[in-house]
Amino acid sequence: MISAAIDSDSVESVSYVPPGGQEEEKEQRNVAKVGWQTLARAQDTPARCRNCQHGDRQSMCKKESNTAKSRWNDTFIYTGRHERGHGADNADRSRLRPQNTAVKVVLRTISPTFGATSFETFDTRHDTKSSRMIVMLANVIWPIALGNAASLLWFQDFCTSPLLYHAHSVAGATYRDFLAKNLLWSDRKTTLAHRGNAVSLIREQFARIDFMPAQDVEKLIFAMIILGGNEPQTWPLVEMDLPFRPHIALADPMRILGHSKPVMAYQNAAFALVHRQGGLHELRASGLALIIAIADMLNAASNLHHPVFPCYRNAHVVDALPENIDDEEFLTSARRPGIGFFKLPGGLPHLAASVLAEVACLDRIMSTFHERNPKGQELVTLLDARSATVHRLLSLPSWAELARQSQEDSHRAIYETCRVTAVIYCNAVILPIPAHSGWNDRLTAILVDILTTAKFETGDVNVSALRIWALLIGGIAAQGTAQRSLFENALKRWYAAHGGSWSAIVESLKEFIWSDRACKAAGATLLHRALFGSSAP
């Protein structure tokens, strides 16, 4: 018998009858429901039917009963709580939330509600590794990614969906290896079995995709996003931190979701299914739309691509202005953030200049995090504005995509220098994205090519300020790459032509996107090294 119970009062136990038993037919029609009774009572949710596995793996994912309302398809009100770190206040983030601060798992009383014929389930009498894995996922990884409420609901699906059970088990193994910086779990027989079973189930479900209910399609999408981001061959064992000081530490979803380069075959298939379902706002699974929106933004920012989906959050940086800031001075004065983008000769296209100024404004607000420590709704609003602003930046057209009229009025080198450098800054300071995914190598290679091959108007003081800004941001981000020495040489040539004190240079940088706390120390070290060699401190 396989049973599931958490704290005995919260989850109802279920029984499993082996194939051929007298109650097999009854079990196939009505597998015992699994759920959190407190939530069921709060929502007055009826009993739900689940299908369990009997015999071959081909029977594992039979169509769920359409006569019972699935929790996966329930509406989940979740307004903005998608990027906060573990422990942030989310008291009013949803109408579904656990009573405790996280999903409390008792190791000896938990196992899936479906059969597992290929290997033992994670009943601790047989598989202590899997039982400990779910403790890590439900109490550490999931709350960091989307909060405690989503963690609770994901745990239910872990216990009731064979596909998500196998996919999350694969993810748990790679998370554990990533945290331990050692390949101990990902290549084990059990993890490979989980991966193989998940792939088999995905193939089976694609074969009948036209007949699957929406909630099953969403589970399929979620499983592919999970598997696509957890291939152990795509991430290094040692993290690489850049010299920047990000406004928000990496202990948030960017570290969890950005810890590896995604397998694009999985991600592209998942995105295609999202479009087939009608887009992000048509998804009903808890946290799924947010996870996909973040994955889309991470992939776009890491590769200098446009996002696949429209912006998920309708927010603007103005919404995040602190109460003690003078709006007029902050947004319209001669010293407002990003004013340098409006001074460039020839002028940037209006949309590009406005978006770059928004990024500068967002950076100025976030640079005060260490002083104000925003919490609650203020933090939610600011992080929503962060996602929306970065999405607008990534959606700017490349030079080749600009209308001919905009090209005639602008300058290719200036336009692309602004766009690429701003994306690098966002990746390193505003989001930030872990550098071990390789984004810094790819983007700094693009930037150094622009800076070394294009012809700038060397006599214009604003163009000179733009170049030193791009060289410093790109040079700091290029640490550990082949481009680092190229940036150092370019900085040395720039300084020989223009000179000036470090304080004067910093003042000119503030007209673009620059935070002293995030960049000043690393920038000074880089310039010193460029001028005086490896003896720099």
DSSP summary character for residue 46: P
Q: Which two tokens stand for residue 387?
A: 């996602």
Distance between CA 485 and CA 530 in Å, rounded? 8
Dump pLDDT digits (tens) for 322-370: 777 776 667 667 778 999 999 998 889 999 999 999 999 999 999 987 7
pLDDT tops 90 at residue 308: yes
Dump pLDDT digits (tens) for 363-393: 999 998 777 778 888 888 998 999 999 999 9
Instruction: Work out the widest C-alpha separation in the chain, in whole angstroms.
Output: 89
Kind plus residue range of the DSSP H or E element containing 19: none
Distance between CA 253 and CA 229 in Å, rounded? 13
| 411-422 core/surface letters (b: 16 or more CB in 10 A; e: else) | bebbbbbbbbbb
pLDDT tops 60 at residue 76: no
Tokens 């001074």, located at residue: 343
Average pLDDT estimate for 81-100: 36
pLDDT tops 60 at residue 80: no
Specify whether 414 is located in the same domain as 281: no
Specify whether 288 is located in the same domain as 363: no
Specify whether 299 is located in the same domain as 353: no
Of 132-136, 306-310, 371-375, the range with the highest mean pLDDT is: 306-310
Instruction: Give the model's pLDDT for residue 50.
Output: 36
Instruction: Give the model's pLDDT for residue 112.
Output: 59
Residue 244 is assigned to a structural domain of this protein:
yes
Residue 397 is assigned to a structural domain of this protein:
yes
Q: What does the H/E/C string look like for 272-319?
A: HHHHHHCCHHHCCCCCHHHHHHHHHHHHHHHHCCCCCCCCCCCCCHHH
CA angle, residues 514, 146, 76, in degrees to nearest 5: 125
Residues 6+ apart with CB under 8 A from 303: 439, 442
Q: Which of 303, 334, 350 is the last residue of a domain?
A: 303
Specify whether 349 is located in the same domain as 277: no
Instruction: Give the model's pLDDT for residue 181.
Output: 76
Distance between CA 475 and CA 431 in Å, rounded? 19
* Amino acid residing at 394: L
Instruction: Give the model's pLDDT for residue 2.
Output: 28
Residue 320 is assigned to a structural domain of this protein:
no
Among the listed ranges 105-109, 456-460, 524-528, which one has the minimum average pLDDT value? 105-109
Dump pLDDT digits (tens) for 442-454: 999 999 999 988 7
Peptide bond before residue 322 is cis, with ω within 30 degrees of 0? no
Specify whether 229 is located in the same domain as 134: yes
Closest CA to 317 of 383, 261, 245: 383
Residue 3 is assigned to a structural domain of this protein:
no
Distance between CA 33 and CA 171 in Å, rounded? 26
Residues 6+ apart with CB under 8 A from 22: none
CA angle, residues 315, 316, 321, in degrees to nearest 5: 120
Closest CA to 59 of 34, 21, 27: 27
Specify whether 459 is located in the same domain as 394: yes
Specify whether 397 is located in the same domain as 515: yes
Dump pLDDT digits (tens) for 55-67: 333 333 333 333 2
Confidence of residue 246 (pLDDT cuts 50, 70, 90): very high
Are the C-beta atoms of residues 435 and 241 closer than 8 Å to each other? yes
Question: What's the burial of 468, exposed, middle or buried (CB within 10 Å: 0-12/13-18/19+)?
Answer: buried
Residue 60 is assigned to a structural domain of this protein:
no
Specify whether 222 is located in the same domain as 83: yes
Dump pLDDT digits (tens) for 522-532: 999 999 999 99
Please give the C-alpha separations between residue 498 and each of 118, 287, 377, 441, 530, in angstroms, as whole numbers. 70, 51, 46, 28, 15
Specify whether 422 is located in the same domain as 299: no
Q: Which domain holds residue 369?
A: 342-535
Kind plus residue range of the DSSP H or E element containing 189: helix 189-207
DSSP summary character for residue 17: P
Distance between CA 533 and CA 145 in Å, rounded? 42
Distance between CA 311 and CA 446 in Å, rounded? 25
Residue 522 is assigned to a structural domain of this protein:
yes
Q: How many domains in the chain?
A: 2
Dump pLDDT digits (tens) for 149-180: 888 889 889 888 999 999 999 998 888 887 77
Kind plus residue range of the DSSP H or E element containing 480: none
Of 123-127, 181-185, 256-260, the range with the highest mean pLDDT is: 181-185
Dump pLDDT digits (tens) for 13-41: 222 233 333 333 333 333 223 333 333 33
HSE-CB for 491 with a 13 A CA cutoff: 28
pLDDT tops 70 at residue 255: no
Confidence of residue 233 (pLDDT cuts 50, 70, 90): low
Residue 95 is assigned to a structural domain of this protein:
yes
Instruction: Give the model's pLDDT for residue 384.
Output: 92
Instruction: Give the model's pLDDT for residue 213.
Output: 96
- How many residues can be counted in the chain? 537
The count of other CB atoms within 10 Å of the CB of residue 407 is 15
Closest CA to 166 of 146, 142, 194, 140: 194
Q: Which of 288, 303, 318 is the last residue of a domain?
A: 303
DSSP percent split of the chain into helix, strand, coil, nearest 5: 60, 0, 40
Are the C-beta atoms of residues 186 and 173 closer than 8 Å to each other? yes
Residues 6+ apart with CB under 8 A from 86: 140, 143, 144, 251
Q: Which of 284, 303, 322 is the last residue of a domain?
A: 303
Rg of the Cα trace of the chain? 26
Instruction: Give the model's pLDDT for residue 100.
Output: 42
Dump pLDDT digits (tens) for 388-438: 999 999 999 999 998 777 776 668 899 999 999 999 999 999 998 888 778
Residue 428 is assigned to a structural domain of this protein:
yes
Closest CA to 483 of 450, 508, 523: 450
Instruction: Give the model's pLDDT for residue 254.
Output: 62
Specify whether 375 is located in the same domain as 520: yes
Distance between CA 347 and CA 340 in Å, rounded? 11
Distance between CA 451 and CA 412 in Å, rounded? 11
Instruction: Give the model's pLDDT for residue 388.
Output: 96
> Which three-class secondary structure state does DSSP give residue 31?
strand
Q: What does the H/E/C string look like for 115-168?
A: CCCCCCCCCCCCCHHHHHHHHHHHHHHHHHHHCHHHHHHHHHHHHHCHHHHHHH
Specify whether 365 is located in the same domain as 420: yes
Specify whether 251 is located in the same domain as 366: no
Distance between CA 53 and CA 59 in Å, rounded? 6
Confidence of residue 97 (pLDDT cuts 50, 70, 90): very low
